[in-house]
Amino acid sequence: MLALRPKTLGAGAAPVLIGTAMAFESGKGHMLSAIAALVGALLIQIGTNLSNDYFDYIKGADTEERLGPVRATQAGWISPRIILRSSLLVFASAVLIGLFLVWRGGWPIVLIGILSIIFGILYTGGPYPLAYHGLGEVFVLIFFGPVATLGTYYVQALEFSSEVFIAGLAPGLLSTALLAVNNLRDIPTDLKARKRTLAVRFGSRFARIEYIICIFGALCIPLLLVYLQKHHWFSLAASLALLPALPAMRVVISGDSGAVLNETLAKTGKVLMIFSVLFSAGWLIG
């Protein structure tokens, strides 16, 4: 269970929740498709988590010096071979769920599903692992943001929407904030493993600024949508997520580093879910 990293799964659920709320508010919701999209998104994230566990271990990024939560392969709980096979099995399960979504939504869902799985593996695997070349934030912003949100909306409404794309930037930015604080914590071990995240490339100050910008950027998305649409005022309630975000932001700004950032990581994950629930409920109310 720990190998699946259950505390990270909110990042996969949040954009699906927002996309589903926007689909139902438009009168085009489809519950079975929404459930399938949620299960598929969680499976892809779990598969990515497992493959990351494997590749980070064999590349030397996860060692006994790791400051974050213990990883299954690093701790010796599960062999690398079993972790790799498990990731492939989970990705295969996501493909099976995807067959229904493809039947429902056609080629756009094929494209989204294939790219999500490929980039989930390439995040830390393959000849040019994204996370090792400072591209992790790009992947997270895109695939945990507009791609997941718009894909969820499309498979129900069978059409795209610019406002859903904009809304998807919020969970994408908050998930990027999660990655930023994770990379900030791991700078010492990533340096040794030659994992050149943005935090390693540009330093801890950059990572702290990146975190703050992502949080504030996400909280401004409801304001932007209301300004553009002139309705859905109740969605502004999502900006109240700033309140639980303040303690985490204070720690990041203070200059704290190391294992103390694990608690900040957990608080940021809660902010992501609070934002998504408040935004979704507010959007449905009108």
Q: What residue type is 60 in one-letter code?
A: G
How far is 179 from 154, CA to CA, in rounded Å? 27
Residues 50-89 have pLDDT tens digits of 998 888 888 766 556 556 666 778 778 888 899 999 999 9
Q: pLDDT-based confidence at 247, cuts 50/70/90?
A: very high
According to the model, what pLDDT value does residue 272 have?
97
Residues 199-225 have pLDDT tens digits of 999 999 999 999 999 999 999 999 999
Q: Which residue has the higher pLDDT, 101 or 56?
A: 101
Sign of the four-CA dihedral 203, 204, 209, 210:
positive
Q: Which of 106-110, 112-116, 172-176 has the highest mean pLDDT?
A: 172-176
What are the structural domains, with CATH classification, of the chain? 2-285 (1.10.600)
Residue 246, C-beta contacts closer than 8 angstroms, at least 6 positions apart: none
